[in-house]
Amino acid sequence: MHGDVGRSLSLLLRFSRLLPSAFLWPPRLHSSAHLPIEIAQSGIHPIYSCTAHYVEMLLKAEVPLICIQWLGQCFWNYLDWPEICHYVATCVIMGPDYQVYVCISALRHLQQDILQHTQTQDLQVFLKEEPIHGFRVSNYLEYMEGLERNYRSMVLSDMRSILPRTS
């Protein structure tokens, strides 16, 4: 632990002038005199107000296209036949909102692959063309039940509003 303090300080001073430092070094940005007053007073760190905002925006744009393909094919070519049967049975028994929770669970299952394919910039191709290896509906039932507790009223309400009322 015998580093060169002068070189370290020089590196940090040069790094602090670069835009990436604002997002990779959170305390530096939040205490910056150059931070707009509205953002500083909000108490919300710019990583959340900026980066997280764009993560959500990109997910809203990209993930529905993937889910539409998965659901449009009833996961055919993405899941093994027994898992397709479990998916259909789960939606019939537990409710149509489980269609949403299965998609979220599949994305959660693919989390490491998603990170890897994001780096290689072929994420959309990977999600649209590759099977979801190792995904088991039963392994995610507890997680899906948690999603149900948090989101069922909203999701089912929207799903029901699509169908006309029958007498």
The answer to whether residues 97 and 148 touch, using CB atoms and an 8 Å cutoff, is yes
Q: Does residue 113 or residue 26 have the better pLDDT?
A: 113
CA angle 112, 115, 117 (to 5 degrees): 105
Q: Quick one: pLDDT at residue 35? A: 64
Residue 129 has pLDDT above 80, yes or no: yes
Residue type, 138: S
Residue 83 has pLDDT above 90, yes or no: yes
Q: Does residue 30 or residue 164 have the better pLDDT?
A: 164
Contacts of 100 (CB under 8 A, 6+ apart): 147, 151, 155
Q: Quick one: pLDDT at residue 12? A: 84
Show me where the domains of the chain are located.
1-43, 61-162
User: Residue 45's Cα: distance from chain center in Å?
Assistant: 20
